Every structure is written in structure tokens, then in C-alpha cells.
């Protein structure tokens, strides 16, 4: 027998159930705080896992309690939400997705893992992989946007970054693919609300990033709070037991979300904790995060015959196996081991990475030529409630990032433009009705050559439990903006946000509009790098930006319908009161070097299904400075047994071009790109015509497209 099997055989029922019990240390509160005596639970072996504790010393102390003061000395599993950085804070995931750069995503996760492990953490509750198409949903900020292909590349990169090459290494942490499944499609965009999506949507949109995470070796999976059509994910036997454990062959740990097992009672599928515990265990949930349903209900469930001891043993064995894979039995103190490591945060290198990631996350939405700010911009007014909002720059889920850590937008601009006279006025608060500061802000703008208007949300206005029915600028920011715009001076408007904010009026009037999201530790420096042209912007939207929230859910990979939108034909899919087109399409983002695509070609007009296809396209830099192009590759299966989306992202290429340069870029299209889930949800390539398109965004009016035909023998 293996070490963990031998250990399991020596454990009492209470000790086995203890390994399935995760309690919070409450150093940070990420859910409803429930009563509990943590230290007594650890010493008695009734708590085997903890969350929300970090720091080499506290981690070592609590680990010593488990290892040296319990009967079997089983180390604790310490988990924490290291979502976009631990101490060094990187851009929120939605922003980082805008980089379309898997190598970058892996690098930031690696640094996050090293910093978290230095603080004694062995597991992160990340990456969050919930595809969503609804900006009302606050957790849009935490995920990789609307597209399953993009989310899959993000999943792979993050799992690799967090887990490294060896899960037992002192700098590796177990990743957790969350929130399984379709949590990003709640009714009304309201967090935690019921989800009702088709099986086809599950297989085409929501499962792919989790499949990618599992293929990358993700150690754990976290089910979402949501139900799908009345079956809560925490008790979802078809998806957890049959798909995840069966079809996908996942034998890692499933950790519930915070108190989610007990919440099966509120869902209305369990009458008490005993039934809730039984439902979750039988569905394949191993660790009970914070609800104590397992601790308080599993032994009774066993007595009542609602569960079998084999199911408890299997769950406990998976948890013990994860602890062994993490090296916790070999050396429980390996993470956070030495003060030398703990202190050596290699601050400069990590902050440089944070600045690079932040630069690549910034998306220039419009630019009338105002950007980059001309060196002659001697007098700059920096106005608005996000200009000097240091703590807000961290965004939601800021882990161990200190509120006084980030560089503000004002500081970044002052550091980048030492020769300029930069004045600041807040004008209004992020939220609230007080407009007494507007006059002072307008006065500060009167003498300026250019105005940088820093608008947006507070960090808490996106993230968990932060859905907004009308995601517009909060408070009286619009009144401030319009008063400043009425001066008729050049205005660069920046949006610090965790979601697309609806502001078509701002786009119409500002000289430039820039999505600066929440960029983390180096926010101000990165924003200054882009505004001054030190960094030629490369960010592209990972989410469609609606013109009005009434368009949601809105996304580029839509199906045609039998009456596709045609403004000239009344009886087509449209709105009476606005266009169907978004404010900005998926993939949109401006560079300071105008780029163009020409001469798309493919190897042959016919290809054998199952073979890769090679496309190529010329990319031209029509500008006067070097610039990076992101070329998106889309396919469309024109006629199939199931109507296919008009566009599906299946690849991308990046290239940096010198001024005036023309380069031919090859775009390999893997055979799998032409497959879709058939009636049995098995990947299938059907014969017939495909359209292969390339573009600088998903704007269908600006794509280059060729037709090719799949031959199936």
C-alpha cells in the first residue's frame, strides 16, 4: 500500500472527515463568517484544510499545530485566493486577458505562486475560468472574458504558472479551476442566480476552459454556487461525477465553494446538513469549504445509509494524495521555509513584470490623434475620482496586495512628465451625489493644454456579489465629465473598471477613450507609459463592449438566426431603439501605428478533414513607429448538422513591425479547429464549406475571408 493508503487505513472516521473540512482563518473575509473553534478543530484532527491565512510565520505556526500536536501529524492544506498576484498585484484577469499573451499569463502566475508559497500557501483558488457575456455580472472582472478559445489558452497558462513543473516544489501551489460550471451566465446578470443554459452551450462555451485546465494538469476544481436548471453545481452528479470524474477522468480534489454545501438547503434540494453533506459527497465533492456540513453531517449520513464509507475513504484519499503531491508529508514547512526566501521578493523584477503586464492590458478604445500626449503638453490637468485612488488600482481579489502599494495615475504621469506642470482635482467622489468639487476641477482645467479625465468604478463595484443592473459611471461622474468636456479642450478619458462601462456619450466627446481596468501595483506607471507613447498600446478587448446594457448578453460568436439583422428589412433580428452592433467589438483595440491586413491565402481550397490547414496574411504597419499587431483567426462552418456561430476564434498571431514594414504571417489552423460537438457532444468535422477569416478584431465588416472545403472520406 502507498504511504497515503497506509495512513488512511490508520485513520478514524472523525479523522477522515476532518481531512474533508476546510475552515477559514479570517485574516481576510471572503464569505459569510461562521462560528468555529479553529485551533481545537486542528488539534483534534477535525480540520485538515484552511483558507485565508498567509505569512511565513503564521503558516508555520498553524502547520506545527497540525503536524506536532495531532495523533497522526497530517499537515494542513493552506489555500488562498491568489487570483491576479499575491503581494505584487497584476492586472485583474479580464484586463490581463486583453494582452492575448499566454506567455505573459504564465509569467505572472509563476510570480504569484512564488510569492504565495513564500507566505506558506500551497493552493490558490484560481484560475477563475467562467466565460461570461454579461457586463452586469460583477465577476466578469475575475475571468478571461467571453470567448472559450481565449479562456482555454488562459486556463493552460495559469495552471502551468501556478503549479510549475513540480507540484511538490517550494515555489509551486496547486491551482483550482473555478467555478465549475457556467457560473458566468446567471439570470439577469445577478451573481449566484440560477443558470439555465443548454447542454450545447455547456459543451461549446463553458466546458472548454475546464477541459484545457485539466489537460494542463490542474490539481483541483471548484464547483460554482449556481445551479444549472435546478441542479446546484455542488450536488451536480451528471457534471461532477459523470463528466468530470468519469468522462474527463479527473481524479484530483474537488473543493466546494465557500459554505456552498450548506447552501444546498437554501437551494431547496436538501432539508438539513446531513442531506446536504450526502448530496455533495455523492456528487464527488471532496473538501467542504467553511460550511461544516461534512464535519457535522457526514457521520449521521453514514449511519442513515445515505453515504458509504467507501465514498468517504475515496474523498479522504484524494485529499491526502494532493497533500503528498504538494510535498507536505515530506516537508510541511517547505513553503515559507526560510526568512531569506520570505524576504527576497525580488521587488524590482516583479514590479517590472507588473508594469509590463499592465501596459499590455490597456486598451485604447478611441483616439482622435490626441494620443500619445505630445511632449509639448506642458500643462496637464489630471481630474476625476480615480486619478489619485491608490487602493482602487488593485481591483477585486487583491490577495495580500497592500492598499498603499499601487502607483496612482497621478503619480505615474508626474514621474513620466517631469517637465510638465501637472495639476490635480478630484471633482467628485467615485460614488455619491456631492458635486461641490466640480467647479474647482473645471477651474483647474481652464489653464491646461490637455486634460486627463480619470473615471470609473471602485474596486468593490466588480467582483463577487457586485452585479450592477446598469453598469454606467457611478455617482455624479458624468456631470463632472460633461462640465470638463464643455470647456472644449483636448480630453483623454480613462476608465478604471472591472467590466465594460456603458458610456457612448463619452466616446463621442472625448479626444481619446482608454480602458485602464484595474492594473495593480504598477497601474500609474503603465498608464503613463501608454499615454506618453513610451509603450505603443497592444491591448485588445477580451469582451464585447455594449452600447447599452439592453443589448446584453452580447458577444461576437453569435449564430445567424433565420432572420439575421438587416436594418433595411423590418422582419429581421434587431432593436427598434438602437443598432444591434456593440460600442466596441471583441478584439478591438488601437495602436499608435495604424495596421492593416492584406492578401489572405490558404494552402489549398480543399483539405482532408483531420488535417491541419495553413493560412497566411500580409500585415502592414502604416505608421511612423514600430507597433505590434494581433491577428485573430476565425472559422465558420457554413452548413452543418447544427447551426454554427458566424465566427469562432480558433487562433491568433502577434508580430511587431517596424514603421512602414510589411510581413507575411503564417497562421496554422489545427484540424481540431474545424470540429464542433455533434448531437452526442463528440467533436466532429463535417464535410462542406468553411469560411476562414482573419482580422484585427471580430468586426465582421473588416475581415479578410476565404472559403475552403473539408473533404471527409
Q: Give me the 80-109 binding string for ligand GLC, x by CB under 6 A, dash otherwise.
A: -x----------------------------
- Alpha carbons 119 and 117: distance in angstroms, whole number: 5
- Alpha carbons 676 and 712: distance in angstroms, whole number: 15
Cα separation values, 234 from 132, 143, 207, 353, Å: 20, 20, 16, 37
Q: How far is the CB of 256 from ligand GLC (least distance, A)?
A: 9
Nearer to ligand GLC, 81 or 324 (CB): 81
Hey, how many other C-beta atoms are within 10 angstroms of the C-beta on 390? 18
Q: How far is CA 220 from the centre of its chain?
A: 17
The SS3 of residue 93 is helix
Give the start-end residues of each E strand in 351-501: 363-367, 379-383, 421-425, 450-456, 491-496
Binding residues for ligand GLC, rule CB under 6 A, total 9
**Residue among 282, 289, 299 at smallest CA distance from 231:** 282
Residues 33-62 close enough to bind ligand GLC by CB under 6 A? 51
91 with 496: CB under 8 angstroms?
Answer: no
Nearer to ligand GLC, 287 or 541 (CB): 287
Q: How far is the CB of 280 from ligand GLC (least distance, A)?
A: 16
Check residue 648 for interaction with ligand GLC (CB under 6 A). Answer: no
Residues 169-228 close enough to bind ligand GLC by CB under 6 A? 178
457 with 416: CB under 8 angstroms?
Answer: no
Nearer to ligand GLC, 426 or 464 (CB): 464
Nearer to ligand GLC, 287 or 364 (CB): 287
Residues 421-480 close enough to bind ligand GLC by CB under 6 A? 464
- Alpha carbons 537 and 552: distance in angstroms, whole number: 28
**Which position among 191, 257, 286, 637 bears the catalytic label?**
257
589 with 363: CB under 8 angstroms?
Answer: yes
> From the list 54, 100, 105, 125, which residue makes contact with ligand GLC (rule: CB under 6 A)?
125
Q: How far is the CB of 27 from ligand GLC (least distance, A)?
A: 12
Q: Give me the 254-293 binding string for ligand GLC, x by CB under 6 A, dash otherwise.
A: ---xx-----------------------------------
Nearer to ligand GLC, 204 or 257 (CB): 257
257 is catalytic: yes
CA atoms within 13 A on the CB side of 696: 20
- Alpha carbons 225 and 260: distance in angstroms, whole number: 6
517 with 91: CB under 8 angstroms?
Answer: yes
638 with 691: CB under 8 angstroms?
Answer: yes
Residues 476-515 close enough to bind ligand GLC by CB under 6 A? none
Q: How far is the CB of 201 from ligand GLC (least distance, A)?
A: 22
Nearer to ligand GLC, 33 or 624 (CB): 33
Nearer to ligand GLC, 204 or 464 (CB): 464
Give, rounded to a whole angstrom, the gap between the first and last alpha carbons of the chain.
Answer: 50
Nearer to ligand GLC, 19 or 30 (CB): 30
Q: Which contiguous run of DSSP H or E holds residue 356?
A: helix 347-361
**Residue among 496, 503, 498 at smallest CA distance from 478:** 503
The SS3 of residue 579 is coil
Q: What length does the chain have? A: 713
Q: How far is the CB of 26 from ligand GLC (least distance, A)?
A: 11
Q: How far is the CB of 197 from ligand GLC (least distance, A)?
A: 19
> From the list 7, 11, 19, 31, which residue makes contact with ligand GLC (rule: CB under 6 A)?
31
Residue linked to cell 500585415: 619
Q: How far is CA 12 from the centre of its chain?
A: 40
**Residue among 331, 425, 322 at smallest CA distance from 380:** 425
Q: How far is the CB of 84 from ligand GLC (least distance, A)?
A: 13
Query: What secondary structure letter does DSSP report for 571?
Result: S
Computed over its alpha carbons, how large is the radius of gyration of the chain?
Answer: 26
What's phi and psi for 40, nearest 5 deg?
Answer: -65, -40
Distant-in-sequence, close-in-space partners of 291: CB < 8 Å, separation ≥ 6: 34, 256, 259, 260, 261, 262, 263, 273, 276
Q: How far is the CB of 81 from ligand GLC (least distance, A)?
A: 5
Q: How far is the CB of 19 from ligand GLC (least distance, A)?
A: 18
Nearer to ligand GLC, 158 or 178 (CB): 178
Q: How far is the CB of 129 from ligand GLC (least distance, A)?
A: 11
Nearer to ligand GLC, 52 or 299 (CB): 52
91 with 358: CB under 8 angstroms?
Answer: yes
**Residue among 253, 255, 302, 247 at smallest CA distance from 274:** 302
Nearer to ligand GLC, 178 or 644 (CB): 178
Q: How far is the CB of 55 from ligand GLC (least distance, A)?
A: 17
- Alpha carbons 479 and 355: distance in angstroms, whole number: 32
Active-site residue list: 257
Contacting positions for ligand GLC (CB under 6 A) = 30-31, 51, 81, 125, 178, 257-258, 464
Amino acid at each position: 500500500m502507498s504511504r497515503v493508503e497506509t495512513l488512511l487505513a490508520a485513520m478514524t472516521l472523525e479523522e477522515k472527515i476532518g481531512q474533508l473540512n476546510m475552515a477559514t482563518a479570517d485574516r481576510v473575509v471572503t464569505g459569510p463568517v461562521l462560528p468555529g473553534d479553529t485551533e481545537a478543530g486542528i488539534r483534534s484532527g477535525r480540520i485538515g484544510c484552511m483558507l485565508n491565512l498567509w505569512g511565513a510565520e503564521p503558516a508555520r505556526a498553524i502547520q506545527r499545530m497540525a503536524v506536532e500536536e495531532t495523533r497522526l501529524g497530517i499537515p494542513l492544506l493552506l489555500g488562498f485566493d491568489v487570483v491576479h498576484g499575491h503581494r505584487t498585484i497584476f492586472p485583474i484577469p479580464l484586463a490581463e486577458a486583453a494582452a492575448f499573451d499566454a506567455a505573459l499569463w504564465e509569467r505572472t502566475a509563476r510570480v504569484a505562486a512564488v510569492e504565495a508559497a513564500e507566505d506558506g500557501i500551497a493552493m490558490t483558488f484560481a484560475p477563475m475560468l467562467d466565460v461570461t457575456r454579461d457586463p452586469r455580472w460583477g465577476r466578469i472582472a475575475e475571468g478571461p472574458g467571453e470567448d472559450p478559445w481565449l479562456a482555454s489558452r488562459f486556463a493552460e497558462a495559469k495552471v502551468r504558472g501556478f503549479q510549475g513543473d513540480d507540484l511538490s516544489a517550494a515555489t509551486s501551489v496547486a491551482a483550482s479551476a473555478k467555478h465549475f460550471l457556467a457560473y458566468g451566465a446567471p439570470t439577469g446578470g445577478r451573481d449566484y442566480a440560477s443558470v439555465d443554459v443548454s447542454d450545447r452551450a455547456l459543451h461549446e462555451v463553458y466546458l472548454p476552459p475546464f477541459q484545457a485546465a485539466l489537460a494542463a494538469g490542474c490539481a483541483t476544481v471548484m464547483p460554482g454556487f449556481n445551479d444549472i436548471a435546478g441542479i446546484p453545481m455542488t450536488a451536480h452528479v451528471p457534471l461532477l461525477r459523470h463528466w468530470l470524474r468519469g468522462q474527463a477522468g479527473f481524479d484530483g480534489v474537488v473543493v466546494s465553494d465557500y459554505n456552498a454545501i450548506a447552501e444546498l438547503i437554501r437551494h431547496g434540494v436538501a432539508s438539513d446538513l446531513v442531506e446536504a453533506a450526502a448530496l455533495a459527497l455523492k456528487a464527488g465533492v471532496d473538501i467542504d469549504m467553511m460550511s461544516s456540513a461534512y464535519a457535522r453531517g457526514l457521520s449521521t449520513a453514514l449511519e442513515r445509509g445515505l453515504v458509504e464509507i467507501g465514498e468517504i475513504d475515496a474523498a479522504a484519499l484524494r485529499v491526502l494524495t494532493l497533500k503528498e503531491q504538494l510535498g507536505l508529508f515530506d516537508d510541511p514547512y517547505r513553503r515559507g521555509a526560510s526568512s531569506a526566501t520570505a524576504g527576497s521578493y525580488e521587488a524590482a523584477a516583479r514590479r517590472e513584470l507588473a508594469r509590463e503586464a499592465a501596459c499590455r492590458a490597456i486598451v485604447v478604445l478611441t483616439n482622435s490623434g490626441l494620443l500619445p500626449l505630445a511632449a509639448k503638453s506642458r500643462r496637464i490637468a489630471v481630474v476625476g475620482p480615480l486619478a489619485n485612488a491608490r487602493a482602487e488600482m488593485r481591483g477585486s481579489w487583491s490577495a495580500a496586495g497592500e492598499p498603499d502599494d499601487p502607483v496612482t495615475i497621478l503619480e505615474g504621469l508626474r514621474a513620466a512628465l517631469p517637465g510638465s506642470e501637472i495639476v490635480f482635482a478630484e471633482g467628485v467622489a467615485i460614488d455619491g451625489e456631492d458635486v461641490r468639487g466640480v467647479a474647482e476641477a473645471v477651474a483647474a482645467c481652464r489653464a491646461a493644454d490637455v486634460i486627463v479625465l480619470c473615471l470609473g468604478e471602485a474596486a468593490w463595484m466588480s467582483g463577487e456579489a457586485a452585479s450592477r443592473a446598469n453598469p454606467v459611471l457611478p455617482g455624479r461622474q458624468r456631470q463632472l465629465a460633461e462640465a470638463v468636456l464643455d470647456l472644449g479642450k483636448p480630453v483623454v478619458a480613462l476608465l478604471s473598471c472591472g467590466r465594460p462601462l456603458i458610456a457612448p456619450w463619452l466616446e463621442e466627446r472625448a479626444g481619446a477613450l482608454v480602458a485602464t481596468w484595474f492594473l495593480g501595483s504598477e497601474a500609474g506607471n503603465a498608464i503613463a507609459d501608454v499615454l506618453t507613447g513610451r509603450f505603443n498600446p497592444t491591448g485588445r478587448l477580451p469582451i464585447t463592449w455594449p452600447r447599452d446594457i439592453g443589448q446584453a448578453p452580447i458577444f461576437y460568436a453569435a449564430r445567424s438566426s433565420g432572420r439575421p439583422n438587416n436594418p433595411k428589412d423590418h422582419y429581421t433580428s434587431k432593436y427598434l431603439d438602437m443598432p444591434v452592433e456593440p460600442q466596441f467589438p471583441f478584439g478591438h483595440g488601437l495602436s499608435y501605428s495604424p495596421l492593416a491586413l492584406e492578401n489572405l491565402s490558404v494552402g489549398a481550397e480543399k483539405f482532408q478533414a483531420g488535417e491541419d490547414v495553413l493560412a497566411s496574411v500580409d500585415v502592414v504597419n502604416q505608421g511612423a513607429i514600430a507597433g505590434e499587431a494581433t491577428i485573430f483567426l476565425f472559422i465558420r462552418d457554413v452548413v452543418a448538422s447544427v447551426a454554427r456561430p458566424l465566427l469562432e476564434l480558433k487562433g491568433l498571431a502577434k508580430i511587431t513591425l517596424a514603421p512602414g514594414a510589411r510581413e507575411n504571417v503564417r497562421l496554422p489552423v489545427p484540424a481540431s479547429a474545424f470540429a464542433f460537438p455533434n448531437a452526442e457532444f463528440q467533436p466532429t468535422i463535417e464535410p462542406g464549406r468553411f469560411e476562414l477569416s482573419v482580422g484585427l478584431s471580430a468586426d465582421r465588416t473588416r475581415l479578410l475571408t476565404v472559403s475552403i472545403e473539408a473533404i471527409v472520406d
